[in-house]
Amino acid sequence: MTSTLLLEALVAGEYYGATNLAYDGAGNVQYRGLHPTLEAKDTEPGWKIWRFYFDGNNNLLKIRGYRVGIWADRAALNWPA
């Protein structure tokens, strides 16, 4: 990425250094997390986290988020049903 594109992405709020995904037993993405620090640890605050809900046939029903918190504590972020 060129420095100009990087600057534009930062200004637009679209640049994240670290990405985490957590999957359920069926292989569906259950959580997605983004953090602005490239090598952010799971225990660092500041993760933007989304929660994905699927039905019994693995069809995506809804996406909730984002919540800001610690990746390691993502399940405790008071997600609505």
Domain count, the chain: 1
Q: Confirm whether 28 is domain-assigned.
A: yes
Asked if residue 8 belongs to a domain, the reply is no
1 part of a folded domain:
no
Q: Has residue 3 been placed in a domain? A: no
Domain that holds residue 41: 16-76
Reported pTM: 0.79
Assess if residue 9 is contained within a domain.
no
* Interval 3-32: pLDDT, tens: 555 555 555 555 568 999 999 999 999 999
Q: pLDDT class for 1, splitting at 50, 70, 90?
A: very low
**Measured between alpha carbons, how far is 60 from 48 in angstroms, rounded to an integer?**
20
Is residue 5 one of the residues assigned to a domain? Answer: no
Tens digit of each residue's pLDDT (9 = 90 or more) over 34-72: 998 888 999 999 999 999 999 999 999 999 999 999 999
What sign for the dihedral angle of Cα 66, 69, 74, 76?
negative
48 in any annotated domain: yes
Candidates 51, 46, 20; CA nearest to 33 is 20
In a domain, residue 52? The reply is: yes
